[in-house]
Amino acid sequence: MYLRFFIKFLNAIKWIILLNVLWIAHTFDIMGQACCSGGVPISNQIGVRPADKHQLSIRGSYDGNLLSSFYNGSEKLDDTNVKRFSQTIFLQGIYGISDNLSINTMIGYVHHTRTVINTYAEAPPTKVSGIGDAILLAQYKLIRFKESSIYLTGGLKIPTGNSEMKNENGIILPADLQPGTGSWDLIFSSGYVKNNFIRPGMSFTSTIVAKLNSYSDRYNGQQQYKYGNDFQFLLGITDSFILRNLILNPGLLFRFWRTSPDKIDNSLFPNTGGTWIYIAPSINVQFNNYISSFVSLEIPVFQILEGTQLSTTLRFALGFQLNIPTSKNKLIIPELK
């Protein structure tokens, strides 16, 4: 029975995996962004499906990223003298203009905490808070089948976050502690969604995300800094179960994340860039047609980094989504019970 299920699974997704693998082979050498670079993980929020026609989806989420593991290449080091905890609150809106076209916009508020422990004592933590960068995207359903679709996403990351915050001594903080990047960046994505996958209520998703970054000025224009380009490949399965008046959607996501090193004035910046693989179990709870909440946990299972870097130990997120149907002339707020 299990062998028959596995063969059916491979036959169902073999063509989309082939297309994604070919796309990865073509773009692998130009993608990336270091785990410890500035700003927040905006590209992690891009894989949201387009909204239905005349529907406004509002998402609020909290993202916590604990970085307490040091790696040199693929070797984990015993050094635990530095740890960082990055917290971000995201507010995202997706509106369906037509059956095929949606607009996706998002901004976040960032709080970084870095703690350094020496042999004698623990230094007071460095804390930084501020508005992060924003994104503005267009999502287009390129092909629609009976139970599946392929969509494309493209747009900009806008440097709304401060990238030159200073400490109490007036010294500009390092890039990994800045709320923003200071650069205008291009974002591209493609996704495939298959509903009623294997069995009714189960869905399969495959998503590619690329963020191509530009240079930004630092130190009053004395330095040109460029964060490494970002590439991600995601595969996910979500199921659906009914529990009393609730719909539960457990899911499992596989994330491949490739980054290229940062640059300073066209020279590679050491100890940035690498490859990560994560698995992310999650659960989404639908209370009715309009409100749902979600929680996810992201665990690194493989990483090989350029040089020595502080890397993610554990990451988690939780949030809600509110779906508001609209008309062309009037916003209709549903009665929530």
Q: Tens of pLDDT along 95-145?
A: 999 989 999 999 999 999 999 877 666 678 899 999 999 999 999 998 888
Confidence grade of residue 146 (pLDDT, cut at 50, 70, 90): confident
Cα distance between the two ends of the chain: 43
Q: Name the β-bridge partners of 136.
A: 105, 156
Q: Tens of pLDDT along 238-271?
A: 999 999 899 999 999 999 999 999 999 889 999 9
Q: Return the pLDDT at 44.
A: 59
Q: Is the model's pLDDT at 41 over the cut of 50? A: yes
Q: Which amino acid is located at 104 in the chain?
A: N
Mean model confidence pLDDT for the chain: 83
Q: Tens of pLDDT along 167-189?
A: 888 888 888 889 999 999 999 99
Q: Return the pLDDT at 122.
A: 65
Flag whether the pTM goes above 0.85.
no
Domain ranges of the chain: 2-325
Least confident of 87-96, 214-223, 323-332: 323-332
In angstroms, rounded to a whole number, what is the distance separating the alpha carbons of residues 289 and 217? 46
Give the class (CATH, top level) of 2-325: mainly beta
Give the position of tokens 């020496």. Answer: 118
Q: Return the pLDDT at 26.
A: 37
Give the position of tokens 């639908």. Answer: 286
